[in-house]
Structure formats: C-alpha cells, structure tokens
Amino acid sequence: MTDANELLPWQWPEEIWRGKVEQVRAGRNLKPARWKNGARCAVALSFDVDHETNELRDGGKSVGRLSWGQYGNRVGVPRILDLLKRHDIPASFFVPAVTALLYPEEQRRIVGAGHEIGLHGWIHEVNTAVPAANERELHLRSADTLETITGIRPVGMRTPSWDFSEVTLAIERELGLLYDSSLFADDDPYEIVEKGEATGIVELPVEWIRDDAPYLSMNRFQALRPYTSPEAVFDIFRREFEGAYADGGLFLLTMHPHVITYRSRFWILEELVRLAKAKGDCWFATHAEIAAYVKAEAGI
C-alpha cells in the first residue's frame, strides 16, 4: 500500500482513503425493542471528571486554571452526587487516572454511592498526538490505577476530548472492554466494527450538542467564551431528550463538574431529571448497565 504520509489527500488511491474509513465503523444498530423493565427510553447521565488535568495536559502553567479544575472537586462532584442521591438515580463518571490519584477519596465516594467509573485517559492527553506504544501503556496504566483506587476494574472508556486514534480500538479490545463512548455514528447504541470485523464492543455514541462544555466553557486567551445562555442550553438538551423519548432510544448527556455545577447552570440538570422522571417510563442507568443490556438483547 502506498504511504499516505507521502501524498496529499487528493492524491490518495482508493486503497488509502477506503482503508482509513473502514478502520473503525459502526456495525449493527443495538437499540432494543424495549428497554429494561419495559421502559420507553434509556437515560445515561455522564460526567467527565477532568479537574486539573485539562491544564496539566497543556503544561500546567496557569495556577488560575488549575484552581478552576479544583472547583470540580470541591463543589462540582459533591453537588452532583447530592442531586443523584436525592433523585435516586445512577450515573457514569469518566476519570483521568491523574485525577484519581489527586482525589482517591472522591473516586471511592462515587463508587460507594453506586455509580460507575470509566476510563478517561491518563492526564487527559490527546490520543492522536501520542505515539501508539505510549497510548497503549497509558491506557493500561490508567485501568490499573483506577482498579487499585476503587477496587473495581473499569469496563468502559471515553477517550479524552473524544479523540480516537488508529490504535485506540485495538487497545480497548486488549483491555476486554464492554463499551466505548467516544464516537458519533448514531443516536443509539451500535456494535463497533474494525476493518470489517464485528468486535462485540458496544458504542454508546456522544455528540458535542449533548455536551455542556462547547456552550459554557471559557478561556480568556483563546476565542472561547460561554456563548449560549443556560435557558438555551436547557432547550437544546430538552429537545434532544424529547427526540430520544419519541424514538424509544437513548438519551446520553455529557457534563463536566467544573462546568455544569455553577449556581446559574445546575438547574439545567435538575430540570432534565425531573422531566425524564415525569414521563414515568424512562430507565436511568449507567453506561455499563446500558451496554450490557443491549448486548444481551442482541445476543452478542
């Protein structure tokens, strides 16, 4: 095969562009006819517990941005856990290993409350910027670290920044993961296919429009400002939920403890929970529970 690095994309022969496309693909749709206990819709709330790793990944030069990460630990996670307890619902927390090492008691509290902790890289690194051998070592070390701290080996991964390299799937297969939650090919769960081979790994797809960070993040040295009001963010999330409910599908929401939990924003999450619970037939579940359910229903 011709080396793609020696050619511009418009020069690629079919074997190169087709090979890139077929590296990781969406396979069969795994949306069940009905969710657990006859529920019409599955609700998967997830929190990416990045804390200080966003700044550490970039060199850790700003004490101010490190303190913003600490807000996620001091205020964000406790506020989230309190809401989940009041409403008696589970959620999934995706935790970089460095976050877990900084705050081991936080991870034990999350697990102790009945929630799931999943893989989220070592220091929130960008996978496609890390050599393949190093990416493998970081993911394996992260899995060992989370297991040592919590006593439970993670069964799912959300790659940092949803950045998925050409070797990420192979690493997930080596880890024996049940699911991934980093890709975008559908609204509902599907089986991941690698080079035409069904992997048995469930994808619980994400989307930037179902993520708090694009609307509400801030970096004063970049062209990044909160540009959407909390009311508008809630309306987008609500419409995504109502669409999932109408389709009998999955509503998966990604949030960050250092973003969503400010007093002027946290009501967004509480109102969404109330809306879903008021339907009377929504199944709130962890990502692991949803992946296991759809895999069993599909006979994989």
The tens digit of pLDDT for each residue in 25-42 reads 999 999 999 999 999 999
pLDDT at 254 over 60: yes
**96 near 142, Cβ under 8 Å?**
yes
| 8-state DSSP, 211 | B
pLDDT at 157 over 60: yes
Cα–Cα distance between 22 and 264 in angstroms, integer?
Answer: 44
pLDDT at 270 over 80: yes
Predicted pLDDT of residue 178 = 98
Torsion angles phi and psi, residue 42, rounded to 5: -105, 135
**268 near 215, Cβ under 8 Å?**
no
pLDDT at 199 over 80: yes
- Choose the weakest-confidence range: 86-100, 143-157, 223-237: 223-237
Our CA angle for 142, 144, 147, nearest 5°, is 105
Predicted pLDDT of residue 39 = 98
Predicted pLDDT of residue 2 = 54
Predicted confidence band of residue 222 (pLDDT cuts 50, 70, 90): confident
| Average pLDDT of the segment spanning 266-277 | 98
Going through the chain in order, the beta strands assigned E by DSSP cover 24-29, 41-48, 92-95, 116-119, 156-157, 179-180, 190-194, 197-203, 250-255, 282-284
Q: Which residues pair with 25 in a beta bridge?
A: 193
Predicted pLDDT of residue 4 = 63
Predicted pLDDT of residue 272 = 98
